[in-house]
Amino acid sequence: MGKECFICGKTRQTGQNVSHSNIKTKRVFNANLQKVRVVLASGEVCSKNVCTSCIRSGFVTKPSPRSAAQ
């Protein structure tokens, strides 16, 4: 799935726009996903979509610049 966090599985949520006259229309809240290079458990480096809360929490292991040059 394209719009899903690789780490936590966070996807879009639905809600409503509420106007001043209290008219409600459907809307979508998308997760804040960033394409990040990630080191997997097998040691492989690949690009994955990860939400910003997982990046800030330290759940993502980024490759060192030294390993990228090799």
What are the structural domain ranges in the chain? Answer: 13-63
Predicted confidence (pLDDT) per residue in 5-28, tens digit: 999 999 999 999 999 999 999 999
Q: Where are the beta strands (DSSP E) in the chain?
A: 13-18, 24-29, 33-39, 45-51
pLDDT on residue 1: 58
CATH topology of domain 13-63: Ribosomal Protein L24e; Chain: T; (2.30.170)
Residues 6+ apart with CB under 8 A from 34: 49, 50, 51, 52, 55
**pLDDT at res. 64:** 85
Q: Using one digit for the tens of pLDDT, what is the confidence trace for 34-49? A: 999 999 989 899 999 9
Q: In which band, very low, low, confident or very high, does the pLDDT at 65 lie, cut at 50, 70 and 90?
A: confident
CA separation (Å) from 2 to 7, 20, 42?
A: 13, 34, 23
